[in-house]
Amino acid sequence: MRHPIIVTLCFGSALALGACDKPGNVDVERADTSVNVIDESNLNNIMLSAVDPNEAVAYFRRTAADNPDRIDVIRGLAKSLIRAKKNTEAMSAWSRVVAHPEATSDDRVGLADSLIRGGKWELAEATLDTIPPTYETFKRYRLEAMVADSNEEWKSADSYYETAMGLTTQPSGVLNNWGYSKLSRGDYQKAEELFGEALKYNSKMYTAKNNLVLARGAQRKYDLPIIPMTQTERAQLLHTMALAAIKQGDVVTGKGLLHQAIETHPQHFEPAVRSMRALENNVTN
């Protein structure tokens, strides 16, 4: 007696499944497409951040060849080329992005950045001038400051650096750039302050450490600043300080600092040894 009921139920279930199957095909396909878009978006992000830059360049080149009109792919290629330090190709890629009808102000900032890296300062300035003044980002103002520096427009540079400072929670890089700007102008004390401030935000930033030593050396302060440093960094900074002293004409002090650098380095410190030999040869001659 139970068999007919079971057969009827199974048949009914089959009909129900069949009925769901027909109108559901489109939805299933749409769902699959959505998953693919999400996966591709995630893959693009991974390629931009976690993969070797050259691998990312190869990936985005292949994808751009198959999708030449997709701005997100061309943008990914441009960013990857910057990471791979292929500046000439990056400028070309960013130009393609900016020429796209969906290009944004952020894309123009990206193009300006690539132009600065390629030494095309006038083109970078012209590109930044096309961006509305209402578009205010850290990167935009950092680049504006660098362009103003290149034009020796010091008041504008200081204003841009200060504005950029207020638009980021990690200002070590812009502080280092600002300090170098002051260093190039001969304002060594202010440069020293800015490099020191940069190191408060990022104590591992060796460039700022080296620049700090240069600023102190220019003021004839030949003792190393009290900052975190490894033994190797200490030797390298002593070498920098020695060269700064020699440049100032304080040869005896410089020679003593070179000795310290050679003795401090945990391995053979060839650059300091060469500097010492050159110094001794000049003194002998």
3-state secondary structure the chain: CHHHHHHHHHHHHHHHHHHHHHHHHHHHHHHHHHHHHHHHHHHHHHHHHCCCHHHHHHHHHHHHHHCCCCHHHHHHHHHHHHHCCCHHHHHHHHHHHHHCCCCCHHHHHHHHHHHHHCCCHHHHHHHHHCCCCCCCCHHHHHHHHHHHHHCCCHHHHHHHHHHHHCCCCCCHHHHHHHHHHHHHHCCHHHHHHHHHHHHHHCCCCHHHHHHHHHHHHHCCCCCCCCCCCCHHHHHHHHHHHHHHHHHCCCHHHHHHHHHHHHHHCCCCCHHHHHHHHHHHHHHHC
Which residues of the chain does CATH 1.25.40.10 include?
51-131, 136-228
pLDDT given at position 139 = 97
Would you call 76 exposed, middle or buried from its count of C-beta atoms within 10 A (0-12, 13-18, 19+)? buried
Closest of 51, 35, 46, 95 to residue 71, by C-alpha: 95
Q: What is the pLDDT of residue 40?
A: 60
- Assigned fold of 51-131: 1.25.40
Report the distance separating Cα 266 and Cα 104, nearest Å.
50
Q: Which two tokens stand for residue 258?
A: 């070179």
Side-chain half-sphere of 73: how many Cα atoms within 13 Å? 15
**pLDDT for the residue 51:** 72
Q: Which pLDDT score, from 0 to 100, does residue 283 have? A: 60
Rounded Cα distance between 193 and 186, Å, is 13
pLDDT given at position 284: 54
Question: How many angstroms separate the CA atoms of 63 and 21, rounded?
Answer: 34
CA 154 to CA 162: how far, in whole Å? Answer: 12
Residues contacting 243, CB < 8 A, separation 6+: 217, 254, 275
pLDDT of residue 11: 34
State the fold for domain 136-228.
1.25.40
Predicted pLDDT at 3: 43
Contact predicate 114/91, CB 8 Å: yes
pLDDT per 10-residue tile (average), the chain, 285 residues:
40 40 41 42 76 90 93 95 96 97 98 97 98 97 97 97 96 97 97 98 97 97 96 97 95 96 94 91 65
| Cα separation, 237 vs 234, whole angstroms | 5
Measured on CA atoms in the order 12, 13, 16, 22, is the torsion positive or negative? negative
For the chain, the maximum distance between any two Cα atoms, rounded to a whole number of angstroms, is 119
- Backbone dihedral angles phi then psi of residue 89, each to the nearest 5 degrees: -70, -35
